[in-house]
Structure 1
Amino acid sequence: MTAPVPADVLSRLKAVLGEGGWSTDPERIGPKLVEWRDRWVGATPFLALPRTTADVAAVVGVCFEAGVPITPQGGNTGLVGGQIPQGEILLSTERLNRIRDLDAIDDVLVAEAGVTLSAVHEAAAGANRRFPLGLASEGSATVGGFVSTNAGGTQVLRYGMARALVLGLEAVLPNGEVWDGLKRLRKDNTGYDLKQLLIGAEGTLGVVTAAALKLHPVMASRAVAMIGVGSPEDALQLLARAREETGGAVEAFELMARIGIDFALRNIAGTRDPLAEVHPWYVLAEFASGEPGSAEAAMERFLTAGVEAGLVRDAAVAQSDAQAKALWAIRENQSPAQKPEGATWKHDVAVPVSQVAAFLAEATAAMQAFAPGSRIAAFGHVGDGNIHYDVLRPDGGADAEHAAKRDAGSRIVHDIVARLGGSISAEHGLGAMKTAEAERYKSPVEVAAMRAIRQALDPKRIMNPRVLF
């Protein structure tokens, strides 16, 4: 727990933020101190609610001078505890909620850090454009949050992670200075790309206050299908065929084990079994094209060829937007569907796409040996090698007993990932959950370089001090 914040610092913060710009009310602060899975519960003496970049700079400046640490927070949708303070000042970006500009010629949307992803999608659609970052938490995830964690989502296969979708940033650095890097250039070879340091830094190098986001055209045709397959190996073969068939029009290629479908049917109201028969694994594929009818035709050819090759056991192609949303809801509800099932060890890992099947086989064998009876719910973005590998307690087992084995079990999973050339955090970041664990897998050279960068920008280590190196 961080040391108590001096009273004079709290008084100065109140003065710079003014009426409505801060709170110490436990009821106002309470929801911001609990992670949505209830794994982390925090504490803070003061909630800062800046409305402008100048307000953020004032808060950070006061804290830098006094050496008082800060935890920035967006929509509180993080899954590794980095947004939950443990005694630090909590700086919420919720009132930084303006869309400053949208330019269809530059294909750019400039949004403040507290704007939700769903609001970005809506604004882009109003200009007949698209911001292709898809997250299940889009209604609460914010620009500052998905930039600071370099969020991935379901369209990484085609468009890349948040890092590839940000043209420029505005941020308050740890000393309280404002860096105005809100460029909208596609090319700029003038030295270090400072925005890329801030993207994925999880608030450790400053507070992102606004971002210039790259927009894309709205596709003229789109096809979504749920496909029953026999194994992850078959899914990988289908992925290769999909890429060849569409010429790069694969927007998403998601893999789910049957147990995840069962959890959704049991625990998420309104869920329907997507196919007539039960299959060991399911692929949710989405194709999109700028040419009318092209995606639908490509999906038909792809599925026909997959059946003939013995890779597709059955498939359901969405015939409307409502049906497409229903299929996607099954995938997006994989994590919520697990909540009523008891204690879970969650892993957000990535391996080379070619190693996905090998990882699943090796990790599952290791988990069954280490924790017999555990239920393995694996799902994720097979198209980019990111698997959410979740190990649930045995049916009817004790939560406490399963939770007690979490760290040892996760070490086994992470060792397998590392041996296959992967990463222990694919898209959620390290946060408070994985920072110490990551040092085991990163080289001393890499850790030293990261520490040197942080020391240069935040010598007092006031920005999210418990996160990263």
Structure 2
Amino acid sequence: MTVEQDITMPIATQELHDFLSDLLGSSGVIDDPAEFARYTTDWAGDKGGDPWMIARPGTPEQVADIVAFCHRHQIPMVAQGGHSGLVGGAQPDPERGELMISLERLNRIRHLDPINFSMSVDSGCILQNVKDAAEEADCYFPLALGAQGSCQIGGNVSTNAGGLNVLRYGMMRQLVLGLEVVLPDGRLWNGMHALHKDNRGYDLKQLFIGAEGTLGIVTGAVLKLAPRPQTSRTALIAVPDIASVLALYAQARRSCCDLLSAFELIPRVCMELAFEAAPDLPDPLDEAHPVYVLMEVSASGPADLDTMIEHLFETGSDQGNVLDGVLASSETQAAQLWQIRESMLEGQQMRGEHLRTDISLPISSLTAFCDAANHAMAQHSPETQVIAYGHIGDGNLHFNLLPPANLDLEAKKALLHELEGVLFDLVDAHHGSISAEHGIGRVKQVPFLEDLDETEYTLLKGLKQLFDPEGLMAAGRILPR
């Protein structure tokens, strides 16, 4: 089938527009291409195709009605949340016409139960608003992402989001008690259970967590809350190398009990990128060091966190794993330390075309992997700059690459594609994953499929066929259409 044939709408445009307008009102439909840009471009500036039009339902029932209509008329569709994805999963397919279903108006917090430590929300709720609502009830929703001011709960569920607090609280999969999902034929499945223990056979909600909208559209979620931390301490620690980072991490896991909530690797090159993006940020230590750790401990009850971290400093220094460090003495100073972590991402964007990766390794393999990957990059392209940082506590490494500045755009893309292949081969050799938290989408589909064995591929295809035999929902994401 040609691309031209592939983007032909199965029914008249006016018929689809009339249906959506009758169901949602005029404000619930966007059909002017001039208004598409906000929905077709992601956080990194990458653009997908244009949709036929954009539906903006305000209730789960309206989502179900839209999906049922699409199923009857064989209309491909894709759901979208907060535009913060990085693998092209929620952007319209540029080679196949699709109806986009934006969930931005599904933004109600339905119920918060501080005794059960749970919250029921619409999938279009912005993560930061959910965190704020939990805090008002003296609770805590621990998912923490750089995009939390714009990303939505439905997208967090659909990509099994991770972020900064995974080592203590787990990924989104561990933070979901129940789900509400519109299936590809328009049926609305209500699995909004607020049970912390439920062993009634197959756990259906887990099928939709991390499925990237290919098996159904999440319209609601019951989230697991935690007690709100009463105290927290943030420290930036200078260390000599990656091996010392891992030794310090193992020590911190033991000496900080279960109170360690974040443990981030930040090489000096990332610090420099942060200072480029935010020139007013102070350099926390008097001297520059090759590698840093940004860590946080927090407690919801009485605990002497300062003594805990000071003991870690002393022991780490005695063992040669700590060169210097600073313990934030105020919330303002702690915020500045975390601002380094956020600003370095902006610094990467300012450098232009670069390779973003989202890999994970067994934590004990990180030193060997980094040594092998740095050597391989130097062999293939000595002028390419490696920027490797990430969530050491869960083995998630963002091994990113800045190509030589003197190459033109096409040459940069070609080089980065070649280096990505080399890098992913090393990930496979070290028994890791090419996607720790961003998902597969369309961007990572080829390397994902290359690494699947026949049995796993057959099982994945069988799931897609069971839920969406017509291939209408988010087709071409994760699996080929």
Q: Could you tell me which of 187, 195, 200 is aligned with 2:197? A: 187
CA distance in 1 between partners of 2:417 and 2:90 (Å): 21
Q: Could you tell me which of 90, 100, 105 is aligned with 1:83? A: 90
* Contact kept in structure 2, 1:34 and 1:42, CA below 8 Å: no
> For residues 188-337 of structure 1, what are the structure 2 equivalents within 5 Å?
188-337=198-347
Structure 1 position 10, deviation (Å) = 3.7
Question: Are 2:417 and 1:413 aligned?
Answer: no
2:462 maps to what in 1? 452
Residue by residue over 1:402-447, the C-alpha shift from the partner in whole angstroms, topping out at 9 and shown as x without a partner, is 2112222111111101111100000000011011210111221111
Code of the residue aligned with 1:423 in structure 2: it is S
Residue by residue over 1:266-293, the C-alpha shift from the partner in whole angstroms, topping out at 9 and shown as x without a partner, is 1224322121111111100111123334
Give the SS at the match of 1:413. Answer: helix
Identity of aligned residues (%): 39
Superposition TM-score, scaled by structure 1 size: 0.97
- RMSD across aligned positions (CA): 1.3
2:109 maps to what in 1? 99
CA distance in 2 between partners of 1:261 and 1:400 (Å): 28
CA distance in 1 between partners of 2:34 and 2:99 (Å): 16
* Contact kept in structure 1, 2:124 and 2:154, CA below 8 Å: yes
Segments of 4+ moved more than 6 angstroms:
none
Question: Are 2:46 and 1:36 aligned?
Answer: no
Compared with structure 1, are the counterparts of its residues 396 and 295 closer, same or farther at alpha carbon in structure 2 (3 Å cutoff)? farther
Code of the residue aligned with 1:196 in structure 2: it is Q
CA distance in 2 between partners of 1:342 and 1:401 (Å): 13
Question: Are 2:8 and 1:4 aligned?
Answer: yes
Q: Which runs of 5+ in 2 are unaligned?
A: none
Q: Could you tell me which of 41, 54, 66 is aligned with 2:61? A: 54
Superposition TM-score, scaled by structure 2 size: 0.95
1:22 maps to what in 2? 29
Code of the residue aligned with 1:97 in structure 2: it is N
Question: Are 2:187 and 1:177 aligned?
Answer: yes
CA distance in 2 between partners of 1:120 and 1:433 (Å): 29
Q: Which runs of 5+ in 1 are unaligned?
A: none
* Contact kept in structure 2, 1:343 and 1:400, CA below 8 Å: no
Question: Are 2:379 and 1:363 aligned?
Answer: no
Code of the residue aligned with 2:84 in structure 1: it is T
CA distance in 1 between partners of 2:176 and 2:146 (Å): 20
| Mean Cα deviation higher: 326-335 or 450-459 | 326-335
* Contact kept in structure 2, 1:351 and 1:420, CA below 8 Å: yes
* Contact kept in structure 2, 1:147 and 1:163, CA below 8 Å: yes
CA distance in 2 between partners of 1:436 and 1:455 (Å): 20
* Contact kept in structure 2, 1:271 and 1:330, CA below 8 Å: yes
Structure 1 position 164, deviation (Å) = 0.2
Code of the residue aligned with 1:419 in structure 2: it is A
1:375 maps to what in 2? 385
Code of the residue aligned with 1:4 in structure 2: it is T
Question: Are 2:130 and 1:123 aligned?
Answer: no
